[in-house]
Amino acid sequence: MSCLNDFRVKLGGKEYAPLMLGGMGTNISTAELVLALEKLGGIANLSDAMMMEVCDRLFGTTYSIEKAKLNMRFKGQEDKTGLNFNLDHVRDATMRYVQSVMEKATGNGLVLINCMEKLTMNDTLETLKVRLNAALDAGIQGITLSAGLHLSSLRLVSDNPRFREALFGIVVSSRRALNLFLRRTKNLNRLPDYVVVEGPLAGGHLGFGEDWRDYTLGDIVRDVKEYLKSESLDIPVFAAGGIFTGADAVKMMTENGADGVQVATRFTIAQESGLPLNVKKAYLNSKAEDVEVNHASPTGYLMRMLKQSPALQGEMPPNCEPYGYLLNHGKCPYCTQWWERRKDPSIEKTRCCLCTHMKLYNVWTCGANVSRLKEVTQKDANGNWIIPSAESIYNDYLFGTR
Ligand SMILES: Cc1cc2nc3c(=O)[nH]c(=O)nc-3n(C[C@H](O)[C@H](O)[C@H](O)COP(=O)(O)O)c2cc1C
């Protein structure tokens, strides 16, 4: 029986084992996790979600305090039009973080960054432009564009000296989304270097509506591969969402034509993952019935998480002044619901203050297979979970045959 390590995928002219770690925000796919895989020759995504808060925690910077001070006058106000992000700070934070990772990379693997395009920061295009260019200027090897898929993103970096040398990938959940992106970028003469097809069993936000159960990852991968072939495009496709073992990965590649897989849930409990130990334990102890797909995210996208997520309990005032990553034209759907509920408490609470809760690791987002983590993890003699290293999970994917 073949194992995943028998296969290779080519990116930027170099061959790699066809396993990519997906970006996990906020700071769950940490520098330590990504670098542990990169050292083994792996492909791994950092996350650029809430970069200023991540820097404050890692480097003792004060971006969020300064942001809160700058925006104090909006506190308690429903309309946050005019609440600003200092784009120099966004750039500084991204540069500082990415540089600190790239300094430690060995060159064996690939360090990418997952850029969540839905982080609008009250000025969608300008902030996206700053984040993308800063990551490139700091030496990131590639950018995975995800969540919201802004059709102009490649144009925002087309003047960057690294535009043709760095890798670009996009996350899509359908042939249609890929087609739209390729049409919009046609005259840039710059194709994506890889495509991640994310199916309905993934963690984080989903690119599907309420009918997500009607789709299967294998079908979408086949459809996307057919489309690429019909356009005579040779772009590697990574299948994501529910690939729990090396055998699942091999099956997805041999039966549906994927060139590789992107995974995340297995690595949430790695020693190097940013999740606190109590959250790793919650993932390990979870049962299948604890997982739900809900409307809690103010992005408007469905999100999969454990029902026990602290973000789903209680309610907190919107914290846009220090965070505000989901603001657009002064509004965020959570703020809107918060103010509506102040006026009419009978309005049902469906949203959470995602920025605050993501920062506090209160959103226990996970793939559909999270309850299977206990099948691939051991307990010690005292009955405590043995938290696996990233290397052991990586090797289990590559060399395991289950
Ligand atoms: C804890 C967690 C956080 C995630 N955060 C992000 C994110 O910030 N951006 C993104 O594009 N995808 C995110 N994802 C999706 C993963 O990158 C990946 O595509 C998907 O979860 C793979 O499926 P699997 O978890 O079943 O292996 C997240 C997934 C998990 C489990």
Q: How many domains does the chain have?
A: 1
- Preceding peptide of 216 cis, ω within 30°: no
Mutate which of 212, 265, 302, 325 for ligand 1? The one with the most ligand atoms within 8 Å of its CB, which is 265
pLDDT tens digits, residue range 23-67? Answer: 999 999 999 999 999 999 999 999 999 999 999 999 999 999 999
Pocket test for ligand 1, best of 24, 220, 280 (most atoms within 8 A of CB): 24
35 within a domain of the structure (yes/no): yes
The letter for the amino acid at 285 is N
Specify the CATH number for the domain of residue 197: 3.20.20.70
Query: Residue 74 domain-assigned?
Result: yes
Q: Does a structural domain hold residue 326?
A: no
Residue 53 lies in a domain: yes
Amino acid letter for position 79: D
What DSSP state is assigned to residue 74?
G
The Cβ of residue 389 has, within 10 Å, a number of other Cβ atoms equal to: 12
Q: What is the predicted pLDDT for the residue at 291?
A: 98
Instruction: Give 126-170 pLDDT, tens digit per residue.
Output: 999 999 999 999 999 999 999 767 778 999 999 999 999 999 999
> Could you tell me which of 181, 142, 182, 145 has the C-alpha nearest to residue 162?
142
Tokens of 2: 């073949």
Q: What is the pTM of this model?
A: 0.97
Ligand 1 atom with least separation from CA of 241? 23
User: How far is the C-alpha of 91 from the C-alpha of 14, rounded, in Å?
Assistant: 30
CA 82 / ligand 1 centre spacing (Å): 32
Which residue's CA is the closest to the ligand 1 atom numbered 7?
A: 24
What's the rounded mean pLDDT across residues 212-241?
A: 98
What is the phi/psi pair of residue 231, to 5°? Answer: -95, 5
> Which numbered atom of ligand 1 lies nearest the CA of 268?
1
pLDDT in the model for residue 277: 98
d(CA 72, CA 320): 10
Q: What is the CA radius of gyration of the chain?
A: 20
Q: 344 in a domain, yes or no? A: no
By the 10 Å C-beta count (0-12 exposed, 13-18 middle, 19+ buried), 70 is classed as middle
Residue ranges making up the domain that contains 81: 4-274+380-399
Closest CA to 397 of 109, 112, 42, 23: 42
Ligand 1 pocket, residues with Cβ under 6 angstroms = 22-25, 28, 47, 49, 114, 116, 146-147, 171, 198, 201-204, 240-243, 262-265, 268, 365-367, 369
Which atom of ligand 1 is found nearest the CA of 144? Answer: 11
Residue 80 · residue 122 · CB < 8 Å: yes
| Ligand 1 centroid distance, CA of 240 (Å) | 9
Q: Is residue 31 part of a domain?
A: yes
CA distances, 172 to each of 130, 133, 185, 212, 281 (Å): 23, 22, 15, 14, 31
Q: What are the angstrom distances between the C-alpha of 235 and each of 151, 258, 280?
A: 18, 11, 35
Domain presence at residue 345:
no
Whose Cα sits closest to atom 8 in ligand 1? Answer: 25
Q: How far apart are alpha carbons 156 and 140 in whole angstroms?
A: 16
Q: Ligand 1 centre from 301 Cα, in Å?
A: 14
Query: For residue 323, is it within any domain?
Result: no
